[in-house]
Structure 1
Amino acid sequence: MDPFGQAIAAQDLIVADVVRRFHDVADTAQYRGTATVERGRGWLVQLILRLAGFPPDQTDAPVMLTLTRTDTGACWQRDFDGHLTTSFLCYDPDSHAIVERLGPFKVTMGIHAAAGRLHVAVIGMRLGPLKLPRLFWPRSDSVEQAGADGRFQFDIAADLPLLGRLIRYHGSVAVAGDDASLSL
C-alpha cells in the first residue's frame, strides 16, 4: 500500500472500492486518464508553483499517474501531457498523517472519509527546515472518490490565504481491472 492506503487501513476508513484499490500498490502501478489543471494567478503564486514543480494550465489533457513503493513510503509521478510532477510521500503511524515532499516544500496531510469519499486536508507545512505558521499553509479542498462510471476521480485544490487559488487539478483514471490501466 502507498502512504494513503496505510492511513486508510490504520484508521479503518470506509472509502469506495476504487479508492482503496488505487492506493493498494504492491511495487509500482500506473493509471491513465485525463485531467484539467487550473493554476492560480500572480507572480508569487507562479513562483511557488514552479518551485513545487506543478504543470501549466491544461484542459482534459492525458494524465498518467505512476506510484512506486520505496523503503520509506512512495514516489508519486504525475505526467500531465508530458509535464512531470514528482513527489515523495511517507506515512506517520503515530499521527496517521501523510507527509508529501514537493520540491523544497513538505506538506503534512490528514485524511477522513465521508459517504465513501476520501477527504484530504493540510495540517502542517515546511519550507526546507522551517516550520511555517498556519497563515502560510495552503487550504486544501481535496477529494478522491468513485465516479459515476466507476473510475477513480480526483479533485485536488489548494488556496493560499491572502493570495487565493494556488492550483486545482481534477480528472479521472482507470484502476486495475479497467481497460485503460496498467499495473506493473
Structure 2
Amino acid sequence: MTPTLFQALLGASFYSLAPAVRALHDVRGRARYAGRATIARGRNPLGRLCAAVAGLPKAREDVPTTVDFDARPDGETWQRNFGGQRMRSRLRRDGRLLVERLGPVRFRFALHAQDGDLWWRVNGVKLLGVLPLPASLFDGVYCREGEHEGRYTFEVEAALPLCGRLIRYEGWLEPAESA
C-alpha cells in the first residue's frame, strides 16, 4: 500500500506519534473530522491585514469545527470550517519537507515527532509562488498536533515581526461522518 503524505514525510517516526495523530494522518481518500476550536487574532493593524489576505478566520470562542480531508497519493486538500468561516489549504511533499499553500503564501515545513506530538516548523516561504521570504521572519509560526483523552488536538500559532500575532487557534477533532 502506498504510504500517506505524512507517513512518507516522517518515515519510521510516524509510528511514534500518538494514536489519534496517526489515525488522522493515515486517512486515504475523503474523510471528515469534527470538534471545537477557539480562535484568537492579534490587535496590530498590519497583522490584521496579513490575516485577512491569508483568509484566516476571525476570533471566536468554542466554535464548532470540521475539517474535510481529501488525501491522494500526490497530496492532500484540507477544507477547514470554523463555524461557517472556511479556510482551505493544499499540502504536498517536496523531498523531506511538507509544502502547504494557504491563499497567496506557500509554506515549507520541516516536521518532527516528539513525545507523541507532531511539530511543524517553517523552513521556507514564498509569496505568490515566486517571491521568497526569509524563513527567519516566520520563527513565530508553528503547529503542534497531539492527543488528549483519546482525541486529536491541535495548536497553531502565527506571529510575525512588526505584525505581532496574526492568529492562534487550538482545539480538538474526532472522526465524523464521511465528507
Both structures adopt the same fold (TM-score exceeding 0.5): yes
Identity, % of aligned positions = 36
**1:63 aligned counterpart, secondary structure:** strand
Deviation by residue 1:117-176 (Cα, 9 ceiling, x = unmatched): 1111111111011011234325224211111x210000111111232212110000113x
Q: Verify: 1:35 aligned to 2:4, yes or no.
A: no
Residue segments in structure 2 that go unaligned for 5+ positions in a row: none
Residue 81 of structure 2 is matched in structure 1 by 79
The equivalent of 1:165 in structure 2 is 165
Q: Once the two structures are superposed, what CA deviation does each residue of 1:41-76 show, in whole Å capped at 9, x if it has no partner?
A: 222111211111111001000000011124631111
Q: How does 1:124-143 map to 2 (within 5 A)?
A: 124-128=124-128, 129-143=130-144
Mapped contact 1:138–1:161 kept (Cα < 8 A): no
Map 1:6-17 onto structure 2 (within 5 A). Answer: 6-8=8-10, 10-13=11-14, 14-17=16-19
Is 1:151 equivalent to 2:178 in the alignment?
A: no
Distance 1:4 1:38, change over 3 A: farther
How has the CA–CA distance of structure 1 residues 2 and 30 changed in structure 2, closer, same or farther, with 3 Å as cutoff?
A: farther
RMSD of the TM alignment (CA)?
A: 1.7
CA distance 1:120–1:135, shift in 2 (3 Å): closer
Residue number among 22, 44, 48 corresponding to 1:20 in the alignment: 22
How many residue pairs end up in the alignment? 175
Equivalent residues of 2:122, 2:135 under 8 A apart:
no
More strand by percentage: 2
Name the aligned partner's letter for residue 72 of structure 1: D
Mapped contact 1:142–1:155 kept (Cα < 8 A) = yes
Q: Distance in 1 between matches of 2:34 and 2:119?
A: 22
TM-score (norm 2): 0.90
Q: How many angstroms apart in 1 are the aligned matches of 2:9 and 2:126?
A: 21
Residue 43 of structure 2 aligns to a residue whose secondary structure is coil
8 Å CA contact 1:97–1:111 kept in 2: the answer is yes
Worse overlay, 74-83 or 134-143: 134-143
